[in-house]
Structure 1
């Protein structure tokens, strides 16, 4: 399989990408893992390569063997420049990763404040529940560290209208999780929002 396009993407070499594509390289060809060149560029946060590929029509929703797409991966990893490019070029806001979660859920868990804000403004479902039974709000509390970034994410989710009482599969609410972890500022935000 010809993987020159993938190699150029990994090297963030936009000029090589343009040359390869004009020479007939298949824009959405897959490597052994099922990744397109655009997903390879996204893995490395190679913005120049990603832009070159997206601007000539690379599929921002093409998933690899583990259900990552350039859009989902950029969101999960906080690769904001690439995320914004995917959003401007047809990102499927309802697409889900291997855990059944939208891009907003791992972005919230990992403390990517600007990414969370960007995804909320793009219109991602705030209260989507993944296969673990968790929403973005639950992941920000359960898997977050209670620090400033996760406090801000909880604030953004509440401001965007997140259901503060949507419990996990065991019936435990975000407020109870926050109390159990001693996250006082998050507890205060949830209580102010009327959480039970």
Structure 2
């Protein structure tokens, strides 16, 4: 007999209880360990310029040097992007799971990231180890064109790629742009222009949208380079196939640079209309206020825009775009330039809906700044959003307790039913990954008896949510 007769029922219960506590503690410890972030997938780790020993220590502690993160970057990708020393690059490449042609973010192999950093020496090493230089990424960029669009101006890099099979005259991205057009925003002189001209390319060539080298160069905002192009006979006032002039492209800027007043002033000197609406009704100012502006540039563009409340074909004005995609500084810049809400042109609630369209909890402070600016301009921020929703619905869907608390302070109806027949609590049950938001909603009066148009309760929806199914959901039962 396994248990003696003295092993009572009470003793068994106590032992079982201790076992369960230990099991729970052990499981919690395992979960905590499993949830420790892989430092090798953290870009900040690589920005700190770690040594080879530090990288090896992280691997020894359990960080996987071959794992891909949610965006398909791995350790070697980040190491290349952040210009890690070659001994680290070589070590990571020797590890099983880091094949020389391994696909990472956007279906790019390591040789793409080496080219991105103008690391010709490592491009050559990778090639010697069997790297395929003919791969095209999922955005349609060949290695040659990826080097160009990311601003590489090292002629030796292009010479190497061409020597080993790249053909500038036959390689185009999805927009029909070749390497010379793509690198045009980053050019300082005519040296690389002449180099690509020898391969049959020209800045007068156009992509599928009718944009020439001048339009692409406007993105970079190099005033002297643009002056030189016009002096050589380039038509600075040309418009592409969708009605955009140089002002639109200058407003787009590049990832590296935000254009300022200098380039817009030059384009006006060339005779360009800086408030020209393209075929979709979009003006340069509408593009510029989407998070890529400088104060002086915004003031200049706004000052040369006849109607700050002009609408594009989607019904958005520059302010709508700033609220949806811009920074608080973009909103304030338009207000400083004289913007006022004009109910004759659009309903004020459309401004609030634009603000709601791209809400993210990580940007809640920026959201609150924009809300306060709208209020100061007399716009009621408590109007219903798209589909008859309230801020409660949006906070529930995005799992933002901050937005939910904001909605509560506005004294909005916690059980507001949207046009889709959903209350905030029902919405939250669909997207929740924890019980925090659900508990909060119930605590402030959310009705657990409310059902969807299909008769589903909050408890029903939560039970169908894989992230919640193992949790105690009794508090949601009607």
Normalising to structure 1: TM-score of the pair? 0.75
For 1:23-42, list aligned pairs within 5 A: 26-42=235-251
Aligned mate of 1:85, from 300, 319, 325: 300
**Matching of residue 125 in structure 1 with residue 338 in structure 2:** no
Who is 1:100 aligned against?
A: 315
Who is 1:46 aligned against?
A: 259
In the alignment, the residues of structure 2 paired with residue 195 and residue 117 of structure 1 have an alpha-carbon distance, to the nearest angstrom, of 27
Shift of 1:73: 0.6
Shift of 1:168: 3.5
Quickly say closer, same or farther: Cα 1:88–1:29, change in 2 above 3 A: same
In the alignment, the residues of structure 1 paired with residue 374 and residue 403 of structure 2 have an alpha-carbon distance, to the nearest angstrom, of 12
What is the total number of aligned residue pairs between the two structures? 193
Aligned mate of 1:180, from 396, 401, 411: 396
Gaps (5+ residues) in structure 1?
none
Who is 1:64 aligned against?
A: 278
Q: Check the 8 A contact 1:17/1:53 in 2, yes or no.
A: no
In the alignment, the residues of structure 1 paired with residue 358 and residue 213 of structure 2 have an alpha-carbon distance, to the nearest angstrom, of 38
Quickly say closer, same or farther: Cα 1:171–1:56, change in 2 above 3 A: same
Q: Check the 8 A contact 1:140/1:150 in 2, yes or no.
A: yes
CA deviations over 1:79-122 (Å, ceiling 9, x no partner): 23432221122342121233211112222223511001112332
Q: Partner of 1:135: helix, strand, or coil?
A: helix
Q: Check the 8 A contact 2:264/2:301 in 1, yes or no.
A: no
Shift of 1:140: 2.4
Shift of 1:74: 0.6
Shift of 1:190: 5.9
Q: Partner of 2:289: helix, strand, or coil?
A: helix
Who is 2:369 aligned against?
A: 152
Q: Check the 8 A contact 1:108/1:153 in 2, yes or no.
A: yes
In the alignment, the residues of structure 1 paired with residue 395 and residue 220 of structure 2 have an alpha-carbon distance, to the nearest angstrom, of 46
In the alignment, the residues of structure 1 paired with residue 346 and residue 305 of structure 2 have an alpha-carbon distance, to the nearest angstrom, of 23
Shift of 1:21: 5.0
Q: Partner of 1:17: helix, strand, or coil?
A: helix
Quickly say closer, same or farther: Cα 1:183–1:159, change in 2 above 3 A: farther
Instruction: Point out which structure has higher relative CO (alpha carbons under 8 A, 6+ apart).
Output: 1
Quickly say closer, same or farther: Cα 1:15–1:161, change in 2 above 3 A: same
Shift of 1:156: 1.8
In the alignment, the residues of structure 1 paired with residue 330 and residue 285 of structure 2 have an alpha-carbon distance, to the nearest angstrom, of 12
Gaps (5+ residues) in structure 2?
1-202, 205-211, 414-478
Normalising to structure 2: TM-score of the pair? 0.35
Q: RMSD across aligned C-alpha pairs, in angstroms?
A: 3.4
Q: Check the 8 A contact 2:286/2:321 in 1, yes or no.
A: no
Who is 1:161 aligned against?
A: 378
Q: Partner of 1:76: helix, strand, or coil?
A: coil
In the alignment, the residues of structure 2 paired with residue 10 and residue 139 of structure 1 have an alpha-carbon distance, to the nearest angstrom, of 26
